[in-house]
Amino acid sequence: MDVLVLAARDAPGASGALVDEERTARLVAAARRFSGVVDVLLPAAADDGAARMAADGLAALQGVRRVWLAADARLTGWLAEPLAALLADVVRCEGYARIIGDSSLAHRDVLARLAGLLRAPALTDVVDIIDADTVRRPMYAGDILATVGIRSELAVLLLRAVAFAPAEKIAEEAAVEVVVPEMPGNLPCPVELLEEEAGDSSGRPDLGRARIVLGMGRGAMDTESRALLLQLAEKLGAAVAATRAVVDEGLAPNDWQVGQTGKQIAPALYIAFGISGAHQHLAGIADAETIIAVNTDADAPIFAAADHGLAMDARKALKALLAELGEHVPDE
Ligand SMILES: Cc1cc2nc3c(=O)[nH]c(=O)nc-3n(C[C@H](O)[C@H](O)[C@H](O)COP(=O)(O)OP(=O)(O)OC[C@H]3O[C@@H](n4cnc5c(N)ncnc54)[C@H](O)[C@@H]3O)c2cc1C
């Protein structure tokens, strides 16, 4: 069953690269489970050196047959409307049976439109592929893991990329072809990208890729705890996440939110400060390797999900950790 993977775009300002190669490698590894041809489509504003370099990188991923480098000014910013129309064109011409992206907001934007154009089902948050017609996905914010049968020849799948190990890179000489498709003249472009501004200029690692993430909950959102948590993040080279409660208070930007309606992350270490552990939050950290929880309430649900727990005040724990790491901390 032939598969088309939409390359994962790097967050604007994250690394300067066009494409998030690691996330795309995870999608490619998942796509290989369909046991057919795996092609990747990389949208770019122009067929220039940066686009070619990104395409070559994807072409070297194990299992990829071809990279479509779709280069056109109308695709600047990977706008959903023209990109979905282009993908529909490529899918119809090439006869792919499965189209794969990740569960990021950007891919949801594009692939929901694509499913509509193709009149195909779209399955979100897929975490496992059993066979070409059977996948697994959480429902009710992770309370249920559902096995879903696909009863359609054509389907769009949005995967939780972090649930799949990335495809390896193979030797340069094994790299496959990069094809620049002819762009349709009638791509619908009802909107135009005027400007993109990076949301986070802190220099901290990207939340989706960080090995260590510090989570800020309502119990650690007071001014002092927040400052200490950011100091610890700086010291550890960690990214910072927040619960929806903190985001709703306006004390953290939207793109820090982790959970059912936020991001799904898979760090090696997640430290939850003052987070109760609502299942909507836990849905975003299910793939974290190790979870440490700090909460004054020893009965908080977060402790059931955590590998290690500290029943103590978040501010005191943050101070103790910083002191242990040789950082200057203000006296009580
Ligand atoms: C449809 C829907 C979608 C949602 N999506 C998300 C989502 O994507 N992400 C998300 O996070 N939430 C989501 N929520 C909200 C979720 O249900 C919770 O309300 C939220 O996660 C709670 O955030 P919190 O743990 O920061 O706050 P609280 O639940 O208020 O918990 C605060 C915790 O801090 C502890 N505490 C208090 N003081 C201290 C202290 N000094 N030191 C240490 N601990 C202390 C308390 O014991 C408590 O356990 C969603 C809700 C709905 C209905």
Q: How far is ligand 1, taken at its centre, from the CA of residue 218, in Å?
A: 6
Q: What is the percentage of the chain residues whose pLDDT exceeds 70? A: 94
Give the pLDDT confidence score for residue 182 in this predicted structure. 74
Banded pLDDT at 173 (limits 50, 70, 90): very low
CB 300 near ligand 1, within 6 Å: yes
**CA proximity to 233, closest of 251, 219, 216:** 216
* 271 is a domain residue: yes
Residue range 91-119: average pLDDT? 94
Give the pLDDT confidence score for residue 139 in this predicted structure. 84
Please state at what angle helix 21-31 crosses helix 49-59, rounded to 10 degrees.
40
Q: Which of the residue ranges 125-134, 177-186, 258-267 would you say has the lowest mean pLDDT?
A: 177-186
CB 297 near ligand 1, within 6 Å: yes
Q: How far is ligand 1, taken at its centre, from the CA of residue 293, in Å?
A: 13
* 317 is a domain residue: yes
* 266 is a domain residue: yes
Residue range 30-38: average pLDDT? 91
CB-based contacts of 170, cutoff 8 Å, min separation 6? 60, 61, 62
* pLDDT of 36 strictly over 50: yes
CB-based contacts of 234, cutoff 8 Å, min separation 6? 204
Facing residues of 149 across strands? 134
**Would you say 51 and 19 are in contact if contact means Cβ atoms under 8 Å apart?**
no
CB 142 near ligand 1, within 6 Å: no
One domain for residues 34 and 80: yes
Element (H, E) at 269: strand 269-273
Atom 51 (ligand 1): residue with closest C-alpha? 280
Mean residue pLDDT of the chain comes to: 90
Residue-number span of the structural domain to which 244 is assigned: 212-324
CB 135 near ligand 1, within 6 Å: no
CB 278 near ligand 1, within 6 Å: yes
Please state at what angle helix 223-236 crosses helix 314-324, rounded to 10 degrees.
30
* CATH assignment at residue 256: 3.40.50.1220
**CA proximity to 110, closest of 83, 73, 86, 75:** 83
Q: How far is ligand 1, taken at its centre, from the CA of residue 236, in Å?
A: 24
CB 260 near ligand 1, within 6 Å: yes
Q: What is the pLDDT of residues 118-151, one digit of tens each?
A: 999 999 989 999 999 999 998 876 778 899 999 9
Q: What is the pLDDT of residues 4-14, one digit of tens each?
A: 999 998 766 55
- Range ranked top by mean pLDDT from 32-46, 132-146, 287-301: 287-301
Q: How far is CA 78 from CA 24, 173, 209, in A?
A: 15, 30, 21
**Would you say 47 and 71 are in contact if contact means Cβ atoms under 8 Å apart?**
yes
CB 243 near ligand 1, within 6 Å: yes
CB-based contacts of 130, cutoff 8 Å, min separation 6? 136, 147
CB 215 near ligand 1, within 6 Å: no
**CA proximity to 61, closest of 176, 188, 152, 193:** 176
Q: What is the total count of domains within the chain? A: 2
Report how far residue 249's alpha carbon sits from residue 252's, in angstroms, rounded to the nearest whole number: 8
**Would you say 25 and 54 are in contact if contact means Cβ atoms under 8 Å apart?**
no
Q: How far is ligand 1, taken at its centre, from the CA of residue 212, in Å?
A: 20
Banded pLDDT at 332 (limits 50, 70, 90): low
Banded pLDDT at 264 (limits 50, 70, 90): confident
Atom 41 (ligand 1): residue with closest C-alpha? 313
Q: What is the pLDDT of residues 191-241, one digit of tens each?
A: 777 887 766 667 788 888 889 999 999 999 999 999 999 999 999 999 999
One domain for residues 147 and 229: no
CB 103 near ligand 1, within 6 Å: no
Banded pLDDT at 311 (limits 50, 70, 90): very high
Facing residues of 66 across strands? 39, 177
* CATH assignment at residue 167: 3.40.50.620
Q: In the numeric block, which tokens belong to residue 16? A: 């300067």
